[in-house]
Structure 1
Amino acid sequence: MNLPKVIADLVAAQDNYDSAAYAKCFSETAVVVDEGKAYSGRNEIRQWTAEANEKYRTAMKPISLSENGPTSVLTAEISGSFPGSPAVLDFHFELKDGLIHSLRIIN
């Protein structure tokens, strides 16, 4: 599957549990919404993913990607040490200038 570079970088960062590299995929003012909570800016995004990595050791396996202009939806199998693992989730990205400006994770 041919993923946009920033999404491929995000998947690689997640699979390496590298929260700093994960956060660098986002713009300074990006917003992530996951499980009803919003995380704003690279610092909050880095902290959120670092805590999730420590707790769940989550890995991503891309299944499909649909693109419509700056909007991309990645469907991925997520596995880790969380109840219900593995799970298939949709990652709704808004991309601009090679970075992620927003991400909504929906199950």
Structure 2
Amino acid sequence: MELPQLVARFVETLNTQDSKAYVELFTEDAIVHDEGKTHNGKQEILEWIEDANAKYESFMEPLQYEESASNGTLTANVSGTFPGSPIVLQFHLGFKDGLIDSFNVTG
């Protein structure tokens, strides 16, 4: 599956658990919603992804991608060290200035 460059990089940095490269894909004031919590700005996003990488060791296999205007939805099979693994999740992405400005995970 061919993904836009930013989305492909998003998948790559998650799969390699490169937290610093991952957070560079986000705007300074980006908002992330995951597991019932909200993370605002790059520092909180970095802390969240470092914690998630350590706890879950997630690996994402993209299944489908749809994009319209400044939003995209990536459906992926995600496996890791979490209960119920593997699971199909949707990653709702908002884009601004070539970066991710909002991110919401749904199951």
TM-score range, shorter chain: over 0.9
2:6 and 2:41 map into 1 onto residues whose CA distance is 16
Q: Which of 4-13 and 70-79 deviates more?
A: 4-13
1:24 and 1:105 map into 2 onto residues whose CA distance is 19
**Matching residue of 2:18:** 18
**Matching residue of 1:55:** 55
Q: What's the TM-score once normalised by structure 1's chain length?
A: 0.97
Q: CA deviation at 1:2?
A: 1.9
Q: Which runs of 5 or more residues in structure 2 are unaligned? A: none
Q: How many residues are paired up?
A: 107
Q: CA RMSD in A?
A: 0.7
Q: Which of 17-26 and 1-10 deviates more?
A: 1-10
Q: How does 1:56-75 map to 2 (within 5 A)?
A: 56-75=56-75
**Matching residue of 2:45:** 45
